[in-house]
Structure 1
Amino acid sequence: MALVWEKRSGGNLYQVRRHGASVRLYSNGVFHSQWNERDPLKGSLWELLFLPAYFLPPERIRSVLLLGVGGGALIRLLQRFLRPERVVGVDLDPVHLSVARKHFGVRDATLVCADARLWVTDYLSNPDQSAFDLVIDDLFGHSDGVPERAVTADQNWCRQLLQLARGSGGGSTLHSRAGGDPPGLVIANFGSRRELLASGWRTPAVGALLGGAWSAELPGYENCVLAASTGPLSRRQLTSAAPSQINPALPGCRLSSQLKPLPRWA
């Protein structure tokens, strides 16, 4: 694996490496992002975060908020396959945003260097701000070389993400959806299924807001991905639209995703 670039900043060592056609971002030895321009759907964890977007019809995903940019691989997937009109990425680490632009080829996206918790609170304080069709929570840091969530998914955080994902409706605001458009979708990454099941997403107060909730896991990874919405979510919709390389209904699918409805709250 060839070292392309490295930088020490704030006590962290950042490295960009190439492995064949893939570019990879490492931070203190932790593997953060991977992008392969020639073959982007290879069955990795990033595709597991991307797959649940197809719970919505692709034409409905006009605006996306990504909390936790990393190297920007997820932005590249969204833009390659769903082509949203608006993408906003928020990350606390300015080096990640620089790497996303210079090494992962992220273009035509608004990248914001900020604490996601503060940014979300400030954004929601102005009801005239535009809502999003898709909100992705991939806020991870690392401790002693082990990735861990950077923001606790308590009830307040879950409610905030659902409020952001009201469906843009061609320019509607956070206050209301224009034209009665159906609600948007929240995708959230967790370090394990246990962490997801212990989060605010499974409390009665948040569960009562949900019309649909699914989990997705990938053999060989501990991560567990949530897809949740105040509207219903249909597996049939997902399998009717997802690309063949990651579509769980098709033979030869590269992504061994284990999709299942999220158990009702206790």
Structure 2
Amino acid sequence: MALLWFQQKDGHRYEVRSAGKTLRLYSDGVFHSQYNPGRLSLGGLWDLLYLPAFFLPPEQLNQVLLLGLGGGSVIHPLNHWFAPESIDAVEIEASHLHVAREFFRIEKENVRLHHADALQWLPQQSQQWDIVIEDVYGHLQGEPVRGVEYSRHWSNALLDHLSPHGLLIMNFTAVRDMREWLANMSQWRTERLFYLQLQTEGYLNRVLLVSRYRITPGQLRHAVPAALKKLNFKVLSV
């Protein structure tokens, strides 16, 4: 892969590399994001972060919140398939924001980029969003690490800022983390919540869909358009 750009900052190294027409963002060796302007799908894990949004009727998908921008890969399919009124993206790493703007072409008028710590930023907001994508990860010694603990405070903030019909989409790097979070939710929230998990080959990650109403795996798979049904993903009950 060709090295297109790098930055050494505060003891961390950020890189943009090309693999054919695909651009990839690495932070301390951790593969954070990829973007190919000629492809509708992102490949691998990243498609799972927006596929659940197909379940919402278009008139109910107006406001999207992305916590953890990375290079901004998921913003392109969100705009292509759903064209929401606004997308708020929160990212703590200034270098990631630079890559999003200069390399990944995050330049749509409906996108608002916020340079902030999501843990501090979200509780200060009064707005609710129809889709909340929680993908807050950093990097340490070549491995992805959580940027926010799975606490009662953070979990309540995520759900309190979700519209009544909205969907919360969370990325977990390990099954045990997802199961631990689910076990805690029965103590943290009194309302009834429903869950589905998405997974794809080659990744240990689980993407969890959280809603206030029941969605079956078959309903979600049916909602995905034909152009994306070829993606190698599974939808399972929790």
TM range (shorter): over 0.9
Query: Which position in structure 1 is the counterpart of 2:69?
Result: 69
Query: Which position in structure 1 is the counterpart of 2:2?
Result: 2
Tell me the distance in 2 between the aligned counterparts of 1:130 and 1:203: 23
- Structure 2: 5+ residue runs without aligned partners? none
| SS at 2:74 equivalent | helix
Query: Which position in structure 1 is the counterpart of 2:115?
Result: 113
TM-score normalised according to structure 1 size = 0.83
| SS at 1:220 equivalent | coil
More strand by share: 2
The answer (yes or no) to whether the contact 2:136–2:146 under 8 Å persists in 1 is yes
Query: Which position in structure 2 is the counterpart of 1:241?
Result: 223
Query: Which position in structure 2 is the counterpart of 1:217?
Result: 199
Does 2:172 align with 1:190?
yes
Tell me the distance in 1 between the aligned counterparts of 2:233 and 2:207: 10
- Give CA-to-partner distance per residue, 1:118-144, whole Å, 9 cap, x none: 001211xxxxx3310000100001221
Q: CA deviation at 1:258?
A: 2.0
Does 2:34 align with 1:34?
yes
Query: Which position in structure 1 is the counterpart of 2:153?
Result: 156
Does 2:210 align with 1:228?
yes
Query: Which position in structure 1 is the counterpart of 2:47?
Result: 47
Q: Identity of counterpart residues, as a percentage?
A: 37
- Structure 1: 5+ residue runs without aligned partners? 124-128, 167-181, 248-252
The answer (yes or no) to whether the contact 2:16–2:23 under 8 Å persists in 1 is yes
- Give CA-to-partner distance per residue, 1:21-63, whole Å, 9 cap, x none: 1111111111110011111315311001121222322442111
Number of equivalences: 236
Q: Supply the RMSD in Å over aligned alpha carbons.
A: 1.8
The answer (yes or no) to whether the contact 2:34–2:42 under 8 Å persists in 1 is no
* Matching of residues 62-141 of structure 1 within 5 Å: 62-107=62-107, 108=109, 109-123=111-125, 129-141=126-138
The answer (yes or no) to whether the contact 1:47–1:246 under 8 Å persists in 2 is no
Runs of 4+ residues deviating >6 angstroms:
none
Tell me the distance in 1 between the aligned counterparts of 2:218 and 2:189: 22
| SS at 2:83 equivalent | coil
Tell me the distance in 2 between the aligned counterparts of 1:245 and 1:148: 33
Does 2:232 align with 1:260?
no
TM-score normalised according to structure 2 size = 0.92
- Give CA-to-partner distance per residue, 1:191-217, whole Å, 9 cap, x none: 111110011565313464244211111
